[in-house]
């Protein structure tokens, strides 16, 4: 087979798989509905590019009508190429906004040198995007988190926070004013890496946190990669466990009523027999 034909077939298969998995996640969690305006948060990384690409493909064949708008938050990181995303989005004929907010200076002034910046950066970014979604009337906010992100977050919370929680595929914000969706929840990062290369996305690295090699998430990612190498499919099984929760088999007494457990049988008869035998 001609190598070009083989590569084309491989690209088509990968594209179809990502759209199928995203479509399944959207259907399972009812992420997108008729008439939705979906605000796609575009950072310049492989995942958000893939998210927009997949949603554009699904929109063309979806049985419902919905609109997409891309939003990038320019956090004023030094050397950020401000022209890359607008040029790309104009070629895709996608309506877009670029928000300018200097969260970079805030993070650098608050977080000590050498400490992890991701937590504060994420909160500042989320607050800005949530507010803007309400301004433009977006009914859903789409983020590019994938299956590996979700599993990594599960372990981060267990190991470092003592909490059993991850990233839900669909989330209602605390104030009830925004719904966040993660259409790539069933997609693997390795596939998104390949997809980004095939599609030749103009990737923009994060100068704020991308070079922090000692991040806890990096260590968790390494641990999961080691498990996956030894036991293929383990990461998918861990993700499936998030979807198959048995509260009675855990230990949170706020979510399951352990205190009021009662036997569903008559213990008096057995007590009478014991007393009769011992008499």
Task: List pLDDT tens digits, range 125-170.
Answer: 787 899 999 999 999 999 999 999 999 999 999 999 999 999 999 9
Residue 106 counted as domain residue:
yes
Decide if pLDDT at 104 tops 80. no
Residue 13 counted as domain residue:
no
In total, how many domains does the chain have? 1
Determine which of 151-165, 179-193, 258-272 has the lowest per-residue pLDDT on average.
258-272
Residue 262 counted as domain residue:
no
Residue numbers of the domain that contains 219? 27-245
Half-sphere exposure of 243 (CA within 13 A, CB side): 14
Give the number of other Cβ atoms within 10 Å of residue 225's Cβ. 13
User: Is 28 strand, coil or helix?
Assistant: helix
* Closest to 192 (Cα-Cα) out of 94, 10, 91, 51: 51
Tell me the C-alpha distance between 38 and 23, whole Å: 15
Q: Could you tell me if residue 263 is left (phi over 0), alpha (psi between -120 and 50 degrees) or otherwise beta?
A: beta
How does pLDDT run across 42-82, given as a tens digit for each residue?
999 999 999 999 999 999 999 999 999 999 988 767 777 88
Residue 22 counted as domain residue:
no
Residue 181 near residue 32, CB atoms below 8 Å: yes
Residue 8 counted as domain residue:
no
The pLDDT assigned to 100 comes to 82
Q: Which CATH number characterizes residue 176's domain?
A: 3.40.50.620
Residue 138 counted as domain residue:
yes
Q: How confident is the model at residue 84 (pLDDT cuts 50, 70, 90)?
A: very high
Mean pLDDT of 206-225: 75
Tell me the C-alpha distance between 133 and 37, whole Å: 10
Decide if pLDDT at 25 tops 80. yes
User: Is 69 strand, coil or helix?
Assistant: strand
Residue 19 counted as domain residue:
no
pTM: 0.87
Residue 64 counted as domain residue:
yes
The pLDDT assigned to 152 comes to 97
């Amino acid at each position: 087979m001609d190598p070009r034909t083989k590569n084309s077939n491989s690209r088509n298969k990968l594209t179809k798989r990502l759209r199928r998995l995203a479509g399944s996640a959207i259907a399972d969690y009812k992420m997108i509905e008729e008439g939705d305006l979906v605000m796609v948060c575009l950072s310049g990384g492989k995942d958000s590019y893939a998210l927009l690409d997949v949603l554009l493909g699904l929109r063309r064949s979806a049985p419902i009508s919905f609109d997409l708008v891309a939003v990038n938050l320019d956090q004023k990181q030094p050397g950020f190429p401000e022209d890359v995303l607008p040029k790309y989005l104009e070629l895709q004929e996608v309506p877009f906004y670029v928000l300018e907010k200097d969260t970079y200076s805030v993070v650098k002034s608050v977080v000590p040198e050498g400490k992890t910046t991701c937590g504060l950066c994420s909160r500042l970014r989320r607050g800005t995007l949530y507010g803007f979604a309400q301004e433009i009337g977006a009914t859903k906010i789409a983020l590019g988190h994938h299956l590996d992100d979700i599993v990594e977050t599960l372990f981060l919370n267990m190991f470092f926070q003592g909490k059993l929680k991850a990233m839900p595929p669909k989330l209602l914000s605390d104030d009830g004013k925004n719904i966040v969706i993660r259409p790539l929840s069933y997609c693997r990062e390795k596939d998104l890496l390949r997809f980004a290369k095939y599609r030749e996305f103009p990737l923009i690295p994060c100068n704020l946190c991308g070079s922090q090699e000692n991040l806890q998430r990096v260590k968790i990612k390494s641990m999961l990669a080691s498990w996956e190498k030894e036991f293929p499919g383990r990461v998918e099984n861990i993700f499936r466990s998030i979807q198959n929760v048995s509260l009675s088999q855990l230990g949170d007494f706020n979510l399951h009523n352990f205190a009021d457990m009662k036997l569903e049988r008559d213990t008096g008869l057995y007590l009478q027999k014991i007393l009769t035998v011992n008499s």
